[in-house]
Amino acid sequence: MVVSPDNRSRMEINQVIHAEQQVRGVVSHEEHTVRTLVPRQELTGAARTWAENYEVGDVVRYNRASKETGIGKGEYSRVTNVDGQSNRLTVETRDGIERSYDPRRQLGVSVYREKERAFSRGDRVQFTAPASELKVANR
């Protein structure tokens, strides 16, 4: 068992363990790059209500539906514009539609950064959120 105090050191430790497992033949040397979502943990609930705290490229998951924006529960979008002065975010949904809203009026969101990670056959993958479309439960 390995214990780390934060996500950054956990990622570094995982990379070292992964490399050692490749040397020992536990996992394949061939790697496949996959885009993953990493939570922006520095964004507290209050911070998520202010547009200036978002960055272009952030991925937003909506845990509640919004009649105002037309974005449904469980949907994802990508931030395309941040207007801190008027406290408005512009996001693009998966179907290519742009929506603009005041984040104070869209509660129940999770914010992520996209990060590419390499995986090998034999790696253990743990989902931290359910992926119902893949029929995968979390943890």
The two structure tokens encoding residue 117: 């990670």
| pLDDT at site 139 | 67
Going through 1-139 in order, the beta strands assigned E by DSSP cover 31-39, 59-62, 76-83, 88-93, 98-101, 109-120
Question: 109 or 9: whose pLDDT is higher?
Answer: 109
| pLDDT at site 134 | 79
Domains of the chain by start residue, with CATH: 35-120 (2.30.30)
The two structure tokens encoding residue 15: 């990379």
Report the candidate in 30, 37, 13, 1 with the shortest Cα–Cα distance to residue 123.
30
Compute the distance between CA of residue 139 and CA of residue 125 in angstroms, rounded to an integer.
Answer: 9
The two structure tokens encoding residue 25: 């033949």
Mean pLDDT calculated for residue range 120-128: 87
- pLDDT higher than 90, residue 80: yes
| pLDDT at site 126 | 82
15-71 confidence digits (pLDDT tens): 898 888 999 999 999 999 999 998 998 899 999 999 999 999 999 999 999 888 889
| pLDDT at site 100 | 96
CB 77 within 8 A of CB 37: no
